[in-house]
Amino acid sequence: MIPDPKTVPAIAGSLSVALRPKKLSSMFGMDAAVATLRNQMTKRAPRTLLLTGDPGCGKTTLARIIALAVQCSHATVWGDPCDACRAMKDDFAIHEINAAEHSGVEELEAICKLSYSRPMVGLRRVIILDEVHALSAAAWKTTLKPMEEPPPHMLWILCSSDARKVPAANQRRAAKYALKPLGITDVERFLVKYAKAVGITRALPPLVEACNMMQVGSPGVLLQALEKYAAGASPKDAVTGSDGAGVDSLRICKAVTNGDWKTVAGFIKEMVEKGTLAEDTRWIQMSLAGWLRGCMVRGIGADAERAALSLIELSTPPFDETMRANWLCGVMFKVTKRYGRGS
């Protein structure tokens, strides 16, 4: 399909980067979290924050806004840094570190040592640890003291898409904010708002339906899907390819509810051979849950009951994250056989 040039956004860079919020008041669908954060930071600001949520939900974006907001004393409302401070953002002592790439003890020791030095420019030194669940157990222990008694100039911001891997001792030292995915109504409002903002004219209802069916509610993922849809991708391809996982989750969902275990097993075998099963597990679980929810809402009698039972089973993952892939394979087998028997 050749897209209409009028439907393609005429902006530099990807939508998820170009439309990234620069202040708290621009964080879509997070009014309650933003209000609580503003109140806490202006009255009794914590020294450590833990931001959790699904990939693409805005954790890193929020961390960057907070890091700049604590430097700005000119803002009318806390969390909306002024233009002058935004222009100086590279001068402030803000350090963003991908914990998945820097997860060892020696690297964390250097970061912790840095936290005690006062910033040369700005009011606070801020260390953002992204993907913090990837830290080793020894590295976590290294951070305990610096996070428990940080100097007045220091702010730690931890971001994680898997809060269960953050040790309880570190969680106790942090003010926690869980970023939730957008609901069905907000997904439509979000897509309409940003499609209009960048001049996308392609009809949105098919994309909205696909996003809700696949239970996609993270702003970053929605913008990726919107960009692909505007460029001519089908709603299915825009959504299933938006996370970069490279797995056709819609075909897996259809195979499950068609009772076609041979096809499902083929997908599992392919992911095992590629070594991507563990990283694709969450996306498949999320996609299948959205698909089953749609089947339950649209179905009647036995069809709705079958979808409801399957959805309940899919909603109780194991506490041990290392077992999630095996658990999902077992659940998909059970659900596929249930649909194959028609009962």
pLDDT reading at 142 higher than 80: yes
pTM above 0.85, yes or no: no
Closest to 286 (Cα-Cα) out of 333, 340, 242, 320: 242
pLDDT reading at 147 higher than 80: yes
Per-residue confidence band for 242, with pLDDT thresholds at 50, 70 and 90:
very low
pLDDT reading at 214 higher than 80: no
pLDDT greater at residue 181 or residue 126: 126
137-164 as b/e: b if 16+ CB within 10 A: eebbebbeebbeebeebbbbbbbbbebe
Place of tokens 């100086």: 88
Residue 16 pLDDT: 79
Q: Is 209 exposed, middle or buried (0-12, 13-18, 19+ CB in 10 A)?
A: middle
pLDDT reading at 4 higher than 60: no
pLDDT reading at 10 higher than 70: no
The answer to whether 72 and 85 are in contact (CB under 8 A) is yes
Residue 90 pLDDT: 92
Closest to 229 (Cα-Cα) out of 1, 28, 13: 1
Q: Domain residue spans in the chain?
A: 30-178, 184-341
Residue 7 pLDDT: 46
Phi first, then psi, for residue 222 (nearest 5°) are -60, -40
pLDDT greater at residue 317 or residue 195: 195
81-135 pLDDT tens trace: 999 999 999 999 999 998 878 777 888 898 899 999 999 998 999 999 998 988 8
Locate 10 and state its tokens. 């005429």
Mean pLDDT score of the chain, rounded to an integer?
A: 86
281-322 pLDDT tens trace: 877 887 788 888 888 877 777 888 999 999 999 888 887 767
CATH 3.30.40.10 corresponds to the domain 30-178: no
244-254 pLDDT tens trace: 445 677 789 88
